[in-house]
Structure 1
Amino acid sequence: MPAKEVRDGVEISNPLEIAQRLIEVAVNDLGLSQGVYEILKKPKRIMKVSIPVRMDDGTYREFEGFRSQHIDVLGPTKGGVRFHPLVTEDEVAALSIWMSLKSAILGIPYGGGKGGIVVNPKELSERELEELSRGFIRELEPIMGPEKDIPAPDVNTTPEIMGWMIDEFSRLKGKNVPGTVTGKPIILGGSAGRVEATGRGVVFTIAQAANTLGLKLEGMTAVVQGFGNVGSVTAKLLTERGVKVLGVTDAGGGVYHEGGLDIEELLKHAKETGTVKGFNGYADFGNEELFSADCDILVPAALENQITAETGPKIKAKIVAEAANGPTTPEGNAAMEDNGVFVIPDILCNAGGVTVSYFEWVQNTTHLAWTEQEVNDRLFTEMTQAFDDVYQMKEKKNVKMRDAAYLVAVDRLANAMKARGWIRE
């Protein structure tokens, strides 16, 4: 069984142990050598740094940060940087592994990377946040670069923060190196469509799943956990396709309306108040109600370990679209499978972000700019092809979607290892 850790008094599964377990199963099912598992089970490098920041009151605080680089067999490592008080070394290690798998599934020439700083950014002023962001890049500079490792936004990080990071890296190098960071403001070489990319990719995979199940997306109902960038974009784009979003939760609470929520107005409310709770005087809606909601689509778009042995059996949705990374424990996944829920696994479902980050990197290196329509069209092509590849593996091996996604990814990574001579038959 996966190792457990305790956060805020709650026992949860260790994400690194979960990732390793699923990779081991895929390696065995594919009949690959033990060497493949040994290479994939841990990142090749994890850099742990301490970042001193002068606070506005004149005192200094040290912040702990990490950058994990999993494997570069397909290309430079790539992945987001999150600012969150619960960041751990095992978490960023697991997230970097998942990034490798996502890139392999999408056929993107990247390995997996991930970074994080243990901080609640809401407690910092803008100046303190900028100093922290720049300090992180100063520590990581030796292992960064457009052909080495490429950060991007993640939980609690924004295009503005990416702008500070690319400016700091460029200063250190004495020249502009825009391809080192993605998710930047467009004026600094960012890509049109990047902000919405992860949520848009989630919706593309939901549409593919509905079609596969013989369901009509228009007229379906959904609930969304998390109303940050990914959750809010997913909710907005679902409503544009005729899906009725009944309920949404965030860190401050939740809101439910049987007649459906006006997502545009909900976005305004959340911006003004800091939470979706209380919108239009509608009913309060917690995570307990969310997981047991009578709906067609459930979108976990928050943090890890949300669908567990406790919450998994309560899910009534036909489709669970994992917009977050690692939202489901093995026990939660088994419970959903037993109940016939169609799960779109995270390493497929939320890969739209890394895909458009790749598009941004390509635009930077070629000094070209694509229109938002071009970006969205390319994203649709990549995401639907990836869904089809995973679904075909599911049918071929008679396995569940999560297992199929790991089989596709591990098989492609193993082939790259063989081609480079890292492993022998």
Structure 2
Amino acid sequence: MSNSTVSFLDSVNHYFDAAAPHTGLPEGLLKQIRVCNSVYQIHFPVKIDGEVRVIEAYRAQHSHHRSPTKGGIRYSNHVNQDEVVALATLMSYKCAIVDVPFGGAKGGVKINPWEYSEADLEKITRRYTTELIRRKFIGPAVDVPAPDYGTGPREMAWIYDTYRSFHPDDINAAGCVTGKPVSQNGVQGRTEATGRGVFYGIREACNQKDLMDQLGLTLGIRGKTMVVQGLGNVGSYTATISQDEGGVIIVGVSEVEGAIYRKAGLDIHDVIRHRREHGTILTYPDVEVFGKEDRRTVMEFECDILVPAALENQITAENARDVNAKIIAEAANGPVTAGGDEILAERGIVVIPDIYLNAGGVTVSYFEWLKNLSHMRFGRLEKRFDEGAYRRILEQIEATTGKAINEKVKDQIARGADEIDLVRSGLEETMITGFQGIYKLYREKEGIKDLRTAAFALAISKISSDYIALGIWP
């Protein structure tokens, strides 16, 4: 499948077909898992600047092996049915890999959000939500949207408010959508979740000695060089957390206006600040600069880890031979085409697949959904109890040793977990466990030669277990 013009959905199905023989499942069951269960295409009118515009939009529910279905909503001129179905399909597999009990879904509205005022975006979002409500394509037990490209907490708050106005008696209405502002029943840590999950996934891969030996790299993430394509939400958090907590050296970044590279490393916080103040990274001092027409050369920058964190189809059969990294960490959805993937495999480059690596967002969305259904902030019950218990332990140590512990140190050790601590801890555990499941299959299952095939095989097997256990499959 070397043709780079194949669609995103074709690539996803190609990966499924490559993994399916390793599951030992019957053809009929595999076909049921592979197919998208339902797609809702919408055209609705919205009055903007005195003119009525007809907006094209979609919501796809790929699998109902678990309920509710779950997936983001993107606003982009490139939205089409194939893309939405492909993203919904990936969501099913992604949730299965990290044991988040949702079926996969995805939504899209075909607009360029930067061409509309806030008031116009609110009209479009509320009307789109109304259409989903009318067709029962949204609800805390039915289908739970979240942010994606071109949307964020603001849009999720509008969706929540619209749903609540239609269902004033639904005590669990806040669970109809995730990624909401913390002040409106959101959860702390959601904004950083996908990027932080990417960091945990890369770190876990770098902690596998045989994998690092295979690549000729030292064990652990510290000191490794990284290039990040895209400084949006996912790319910026991946870069900053990797630098601050992992000791990674960021040597190159790219954005829509171009790319910059410095072999000795960049201070990613300073780069982000510079872009915020000047509107571009291309005027950042003492770096190699590549203009807009050359921004794809970011894929050729020399590094240990390349993080495509923008849109799909960035590494193809045309440029895969020019990639100059040892690990591709798919922070975006579908950044490597099937044709590109084959070439990377031939060259011995390890790809950490998107259906695992960017699952941090849906994992923390799951935590938010649970918080909404339980009607309680994480840590509310145990924080002060734990703090008191830790202090009693420290006081006993002081009494036994006859030595006083510095009060500042005591406060740090005894502090009970806040919501953000628990969310990060749960995300870390999820990403570590998810990688270990994939890696075990990769190492032990004969015929599986890459992490992507292992990830798809694991997801297919888990979904099939639900179909059989629930009696959905005859």
2:115 aligned with 1:123, yes or no? yes
Amino acid corresponding to residue 46 of structure 1 in structure 2: V
Counterpart for residue 332 of structure 1: 340
* d(CA) in 1 for partners of 2:327, 2:123: 42
Are 2:302 and 1:306 equivalent residues in the alignment? no
Shift of 1:22: 2.0
Q: Verify: 1:204 aligned to 2:200, yes or no.
A: yes
User: With structure 1 as the length reference, what TM-score do the two structures score?
Assistant: 0.95
Q: 2:316·2:336 contact (CA, 8 Å) conserved in 1?
A: yes
- Would the aligned equivalents of 1:223 and 1:245 in 2 still touch at CA under 8 Å? yes
- Give CA deviations for 1:180-232 in whole Å, capped at 9, x if unaligned: 10000001111110000000000001111111125231111110111100001
1:106 aligns to 2:114 (yes or no):
no
Mapped pair 1:420 → 2:439? no
Q: Per-residue deviation at 1:273?
A: 4.0
Q: Aligned partners of 1:288 and 1:228: how far apart in 2?
A: 16
Task: Give, in whole Å, the separation in 1 of the partners of 2:116 and 2:143.
Answer: 27
Contact 2:256 2:295 in 1 (8 A): no
Corresponding position of 1:87: 79
Alignment correspondent of 1:355: 363
2:124 aligns to what? 132
Give the stretch that moved more between structures: 124-133 or 17-26. 17-26
Please give the alpha-carbon distance, in whole angstroms, between the structure 2 residues aligned to 1:312 and 1:215.
26
Q: Aligned AA for 1:351?
A: A
Q: Decide which moves more: 206-215 or 316-325.
A: 206-215
Q: Which residue of 2 aligns with 1:172?
A: 166
SS at 2:144 equivalent? strand
For residues 208 and 100 of structure 1, the distance between their equivalents in structure 2, rounded to whole angstroms, comes to 23
Preserved contact between residue 14 and residue 338 of structure 2 (Cα < 8 Å): no
- 1: CA distance, partners of 2:278 / 2:240: 19
Matches within 5 A, 1:9-408: 12-55=5-48, 57-141=49-133, 142-175=136-169, 177-212=173-208, 213=212, 214-240=218-244, 241-280=246-285, 282-285=287-290, 286-370=294-378, 371-397=419-445, 398-408=448-458
Q: Deviations over 1:99-121 (max 9, x none)?
A: 00000001111000000011111
Q: Which structure has the bigger radius of gyration?
A: 2
Amino acid at match of 1:414: S
Q: What value does the CA root-mean-square deviation take over the aligned residues?
A: 1.5
Q: How far does the alpha carbon of each residue in 1:127-161 deviate from its partner, in whole angstroms, 9 at most, with x for none? A: 00111111110000122101110000000111111
Q: Alignment partner of 2:65: what SS?
A: coil
Kindly tell me the number of residue pairs found equivalent between the two proteins.
Answer: 416
Unaligned runs of 5+ in 1: 5-10
The answer (yes or no) to whether the contact 1:343–1:401 under 8 Å persists in 2 is: yes
- Tell me, in whole angstroms, the C-alpha distance in 2 between the residues paired with 1:234 and 1:310: 27
SS at match of 2:5: strand
In structure 2, stretches of 5+ residues that fail to align are 213-217, 379-418
Match of 2:460 among 403, 410, 420: 410
1:266 is displaced (CA, Å) by 1.9
Q: Distance in 1 between matches of 2:122 and 2:286?
A: 37
Who is 2:413 aligned against?
Answer: none
For each residue in 1:247-294, what CA deviation from the matched residue of structure 2 results, as whole angstroms up to 9, or x when unmatched?
111122222222322222222233334443322363323444311111
Structure 2 match to 1:7: none
Structure 1 residues 277 and 171 mapped into 2: Cα distance closer, same or farther (>3 Å)?
Answer: farther
Compare 132-141 and 168-177 and name the one that shifted more.
Answer: 168-177
Q: Which amino acid in the other structure matches residue 458 of structure 2? A: V
How far did residue 13 of structure 1 move? Answer: 2.1
Which amino acid counterpart does residue 297 of structure 1 have in structure 2? I
d(CA) in 1 for partners of 2:466 and 2:221?
A: 37
Q: Is the 8 A contact 1:257 1:283 kept in 2?
A: yes
Contact 2:252 2:298 in 1 (8 A): yes
**Structure 1 SS opposite 2:285:** helix
Q: Secondary structure at the match of 2:72?
A: strand
**Matches of 1:39 and 1:31 in 2, distance apart?**
15
